[in-house]
Amino acid sequence: MFVAASTECWPEVELLDAIEVLSDLGFTSVELALHETGGLKPSELLGDMDRAIQLLRHTHRLEISGYSVQLASTGEQHYDDFLSLCRLAKTTKVVNIIVPSSEHGTPFNEEVEHLKRLVEIGESEGIRVSVRSQLGCLSDDPDTLMVLCNNVDGLGVSLDPSVYLCGGGKEKNIEKILKFVCNVYLRDSRPDAFQVSIGQGEIDYAKLITQLEREGYDRALTVHMVPMDDLDHRVELRKLRRLLESHL
């Protein structure tokens, strides 16, 4: 296992500036958020692939642990765009792509078919696709997530334990989905607050790492924290990095 940080930790900062800050804070790996609602838009990358390759390779001393992908396109165009991003990932030597979960109310079979297509596209390019734990989505219940993984061969989980501490699945055991995990998002949380200062919440990092070790997990522990008005964001990020590294 190794510690990484998401560029979503600095949502208002340009990519290269965010990478520079994370490098200064001692991180050696970074997950890049390719979100249509963010600063690094997939549509812009796909519009100029040569420029995209150069941009995404320019991460200084940081290794890319994966891409978090959120596309605005729909229908067949969505899958065409996803294929192009998988090829971009392959060219930039990235093997892990994280995709969002559909919101509650989405028919289960529809979600299964959607994720099957994404996984098949990813596997055709040597990419591992994982679905993200998210509040308000099908993946916020570990039982539903396990059934999704059992129905979609090759689907991974991008585990966010805060979702299961704060959401409706907090009384359920997440150990059943650990064998599917290929990425982890971390911050500190309480049942009544999705993000709090490091050390003020209830996330048991040591226990989680031990559980993941038993499953042979050897990928990223990705720090995923947004700035909070009353806290020094740099201090919080550095604190969590050091805390996680102390358990490895």
Query: Quick one: pLDDT at residue 60?
Result: 62
CATH 3.30.350.10, applies to 2-246: no
Confidence of residue 172 (pLDDT cuts 50, 70, 90): confident
pLDDT in tens, 86-135: 999 999 899 999 999 999 999 999 999 999 999 999 999 999 999 999 99
Confidence of residue 169 (pLDDT cuts 50, 70, 90): low
Does residue 171 have a pLDDT over 70? no
| Range from 50-54, 126-130, 167-171, 232-236 carrying the lowest mean pLDDT | 167-171
pLDDT in tens, 145-165: 999 999 999 999 999 999 999
Share of the chain above pLDDT 90, in %: 80
The average confidence (pLDDT) of the chain is: 93
- For the entire predicted model, the pTM comes to 0.94
Say if residues 22 and 239 touch (Cβ distance below 8 Å). Answer: no
Q: At what angle do helices 75-91 and 49-57 cross, to 10 degrees?
A: 50
Query: Quick one: pLDDT at residue 54?
Result: 83
Q: With helix as H, strand as E and coil as C, how does the chain read? A: CEEEEEHHHCCCCCHHHHHHHHHHCCCCEEEEEEECCCCCCHHHHHHCHHHHHHHHHCCCCCEEEEEEEECCCCHHHHHHHHHHHHHHHHHCCCCEEEECCCECCCCHHHHHHHHHHHHHHHHHCCCEEEEECCCCEHHHCHHHHHHHHHHCCCCEEEECHHHHHHCCCCCCCCHHHHHHEEEEEECEEECCEEEECCCCCCCCHHHHHHHHHHCCCCCEEEECCCCCCCCCHHHHHHHHHHHHHHCC
pLDDT in tens, 208-239: 999 999 999 999 999 999 999 989 999 999 99
Does residue 23 have a pLDDT over 90? yes
Query: Quick one: pLDDT at residue 111?
Result: 97
